[in-house]
Copies of this chain bind each other. A is one copy, B any other.
């Protein structure tokens, strides 16, 4: 790229940014059947025989999904990649391949800031073997990051709607931290405890569970349906039951939580369950398996938790041990 003494994004321009991406791109491209790389009117790849491709897209907008005063450009860029990888992970046997990034950048943004964003996107793409395949950069009032990610499935696609009666509902990790972290940020408290700092970190630096999804499929665990918890556990269970016309029993006491969330909610169960169910932005996998696979999965990945089962009731019943609970959806509203 052209070295410039000016420091603002306006000194680089669109074509300069594409050059920057080209010169800082991942090395994954050559392994991915690329026939026309970034920089032309389109990106081109040749189809792998008998393969299925999966595609996801997400858009993040400053002051709606993140604040630049809370999060570093590295945290913003990493999260933008992870949330898309998480959707690919929800497909089971998929590997992410090609990432397209459209970015709206305020005119007075420092060039170094934009470079930090792109370098982090590259770093995270490298981690997953993803190739940055295209994009568009334009002026905007608010920093806007729109990513489309294409992955390849060599095995079956795991959908949201394949659960059968008696299938066990499983989760890949702890719930509630991210939502609690967001509320701590919104509270604008000046001096933070160490558990508050940890909860904030969980909100700002989520991690997709691609490794877990791939490990299960590689070991022939019969995952009957799967989604991620981007909109919270309540929404995830709803999606896995509504789409296959089933119901579920969920034991909230079996949902794993961090000691930080326990400290934060100070024994207030309603508060704890609120964050578990409605927090969102955790990007844990929520999935169902055939009961016969439970023992195998317990050995393979001890960190998986078993929080309930699918039934034919068309209703979702929440229990704490043997007590039925009245739970209402109170999650994130997109509008």
Contact across chains for B160 and A41 when beta carbons are under 8 A apart:
yes
State in angstroms the CA–CA spacing of A199 and B98 once bound together: 39
Contact across chains for B47 and A43 when beta carbons are under 8 A apart:
no
Within 8 A of B (CB), among A17-48: 35-36, 39-48
Chain A 239-267: CB-based contact to B (< 8 A → 1; otherwise 0):
00001000000000000000000000000
Contact across chains for B135 and A57 when beta carbons are under 8 A apart:
yes
Q: Which residues of B contact A58 (CB under 8 A)?
A: 102, 136
Contact across chains for B35 and A44 when beta carbons are under 8 A apart:
no
Contact across chains for A138 and B55 when beta carbons are under 8 A apart:
no
User: Which of A9, A43, A228, A334 lies at the interface centre, i.e. has the most chain B CB atoms within 10 A of its CB?
Assistant: A334
Q: Which residues of B contact A10 (CB under 8 A)?
A: 333, 335
Contact across chains for B59 and A53 when beta carbons are under 8 A apart:
no
Band of interface residues on A: 35 or more
Contact across chains for B47 and A153 when beta carbons are under 8 A apart:
no
Q: Which residues of B contact A13 (CB under 8 A)?
A: 333-335
State in angstroms the CA–CA spacing of A160 and B60 once bound together: 31
State in angstroms the CA–CA spacing of A47 and B153 once bound together: 10
With CB as the reference atom, state the residue of chain B lying closest to A107. Answer: B335
Contact across chains for A102 and B146 when beta carbons are under 8 A apart:
yes
Q: With A13-B334, A47-B51, A47-B53 known to touch, is A104 a contact of B36 (CB < 8 Å)? A: no
Other A-B pairs beyond A40-B90, A47-B48, 7, CB < 8 Å: A10-B335, A39-B243, A55-B150, A59-B104, A137-B334, A140-B142, A148-B148
Spell out A's residues near B (CB within 8 Å): 9-10, 12-14, 35-36, 39-61, 63-65, 86-88, 90-91, 94, 98, 100-105, 107, 133-142, 144, 146, 148, 150-151, 153, 157, 159-161, 226-228, 243, 333-335
A-B contact pairs, 17 of them (CB 8 A): A42-B56, A42-B91, A42-B151, A43-B54, A43-B55, A44-B157, A47-B48, A47-B50, A47-B53, A49-B49, A57-B134, A57-B136, A61-B144, A102-B146, A107-B335, A138-B334, A140-B144
